[in-house]
Amino acid sequence: MTTNALRGIIVAVFHSPIIANGVSMARKNAFYAQSGGVTSVINASAAGVIEAARNSDIIDKVYAGRNGIIGALTEDLIDTSLESAESIAALKHTPGGAFGSCRYKLGDVETNRRQYERLIEVFKAHNIGYFFYNGGGDSADTCLKVSQLSETLGYPIQAIHVPKTVDNDLPFTDCSPGFGSVAKYTAVSIKEAALDVASMCATSTKVFIMEVMGRHAGWIAAAAGLAKDKPEAAPHIIIFPERVFDKEAFLKKVDQCVADYGYCVVAVSEGARYADGSFLADAGSVDAFGHKQLGGVAPVLAQMVRDELGHKYHWAVPDYLQRAGRHIASATDVEQAYAVGKAAVEFAAAGKNAVMPAIKRQQDKPYVWTIEEAPLAEVANVEVGMPDNFISEDGFGITEAARTYLAPLIMGEPDTPFKDGLPVHAELKLVAVEKKLNDHFEI
């Protein structure tokens, strides 16, 4: 029997009604969790999953993992069925991770079998047959491993990855939900800061440097370029991880901009690196996934400007602000984030496993997109950087091709309720599901 035939039998059995005392027991519960760095729209994906599940024929309840996959391992589950429809809808305009996120990497099943046995114990105890994991490339890897439980350990589970990452580095998808809003935040912030600097440059600050996220891919830095609507407009310099940092060329460009315009505004990706591959801002430590912790490239560049050119400078690191800024989110991004969550449930209902809803661009103007499926085996642990033709010849700006790609992703201002001058966010009950296992699992 072929693998595909076996998988078909597993899915058929999984969806076949089980009658007990005259009651159909076909519906299973679903596990949903958020992973990695959150975004201003990740909760819109949660709303997409939960609302679609409530309208599905295959899912009874959605249990959210408190703090990502850790919630599954520790049997710390949240019963989303106890949240009102209004509260779930409010997730669409609430930043952060409503159920808590984590940076936790599952090991290989061969060497960390106990982790997977524990997942099965929890899933069995709570009748969980669907697994929706909302995160980036590392989260796709976790989801892929869970999707293989049917074949490796004999437990029927369908695992669907719900894409999210401000870095915009997932393959197959036109963009990653979360990116459009951070791109908009970046473009708006650099545009507004430039007006501030321009007004003071005659007697004060002449160089302003803004550091943005992006370890290996310069998508967010590139988004700053959307603010440059004429040659003299900021940002005057963008520094990408995809280009080797040339100190001499950088300082020459800064000095020339100050001479030509009176000031210079720089957008730099945190992943800027030298020719030997080392980061300008390597903090010397790594996170749970083995990624280097970066210690701040903006002050490094600012010191170069001070030491070599003597210009008065300021620098800023938006850090969490750029990914939490729901008040200035992209309506397109919110719509796409919700759509991939909804599509994940639809994929599960169709018997899919080990796939990710991917956004497919149909045309640029007007921007038209659809949802397709992408194989998790080809998504997990794959990072996509910017194409060469998106970076200008001098390496310090974006091209028209990049602008054509980026511009639709920041379009639209979604409805955001305000009260007393502040945005209104979802307030969830977050009621824990009663534990059925008596043992303690060590993380």
Q: How far apart are alpha carbons 151 and 185 in whole angstroms?
A: 44
Q: Active site includes 196?
A: no
Q: Are 240 and 269 in contact (CB under 8 A)?
A: yes
Residue type, 342: K
Total length of the chain = 443
Q: How far apart are alpha carbons 289 and 69 in whole angstroms?
A: 14
Q: How far apart are alpha carbons 61 and 42 in whole angstroms?
A: 20
Of 76, 141, 167, 174, catalytic: 167
Shortest CA distance to 63 belongs to which of 13, 123, 151?
123
Q: Are 175 and 337 in contact (CB under 8 A)?
A: no
Q: Distance between the two ends of the chain, CA-based, in angstroms?
A: 39
From residue 159, alpha-carbon distances to 148, 254, 344, 347, 370 in Å are 9, 49, 9, 10, 21
Residue 54 backbone phi and psi in degrees, to 5: -65, -25
Q: How far apart are alpha carbons 106 and 2 in whole angstroms?
A: 28
Tokens of 427: 């307030």
The runs of H, that is alpha helices, within 241-330 are 247-261, 297-304, 320-324
Greatest extent of the chain over all pairs of C-alpha atoms, in Å? 84
Angle between helices 331-349 and 42-54 (to 10 degrees): 40
Give catalytic residues, as residue numbers.
167
